Amino acid sequence: MKIRVIISSEKEKEIMLGAKEITDIMGFDIGYTDIGGSSFEDLKNEILEWEKDTEIYIVTAAENLELPKLIAQNTKRPVIAVPIKTEKYKSLELLESVVNMGSEGPYCTVAINGAANSALLACQMIGAKDEKMYERLEEYREELKNMVAEKERLLLEKISAV
């Protein structure tokens, strides 16, 4: 497993399924680890185990906004934070809290509920040294470009028919 998604609740897992959709398209497995209820000491020990088969961490920030920072402080691997919108944390407040976590453990942050973007970013990181992944990303981008062009063509047809 190259990418490990770390969540702390079932709700987060539902949102993070968007990451799995992308990694399925790219042709590799993604692992999910639910750390709900783990202590900080347990988490540090678990990270040591995860390091053996993890290249990139995607970490949710919902109920525990500090989770990406905790992971980043205890690994040398890249960490991508995904802020998850909850009743407690709304859009801008949530994003600001996750982005302003300090520099003790650097990580990058994607859009709120940005599961798919987090997986694409992880794939780009892997693609920087893995030729197969790089080629698959190129194919995926071409597919997206063709899909958008087709939608635009259909829309223009509808408009011109009016």
> pLDDT 10s digit of each residue in the chain, 162 long?
689 999 988 888 899 999 999 999 998 888 888 888 888 888 888 888 898 899 999 999 887 888 899 999 999 999 999 999 888 877 777 778 788 777 778 899 999 999 999 999 999 999 999 999 999 999 999 999 999 999 999 999 999 987
All residues at 6 or more sequence positions from 83 whose CB lies less than 8 Å from its CB, including other chains? 61, 62, 65, 89, 94, 95, 97, 98, 109, 111, 112, 113, 114
Q: Classify residue 43 by its DSSP letter.
A: H
Residue keyed to tokens 């909850």: 86
* pLDDT score recorded for residue 1: 62
User: For residues 121 and 57, is the Cβ–Cβ distance under 8 A?
Assistant: no
What is residue 8's predicted lDDT score, i.e. its pLDDT?
87
The pair phi, psi for residue 135, each rounded to 5°, is -65, -40
In the structure encoding, which two tokens stand for residue 22, read together? 């992308």
Whether this model's pTM surpasses 0.75: yes
What pLDDT was estimated at residue 88?
A: 80
pLDDT of res. 87: 82
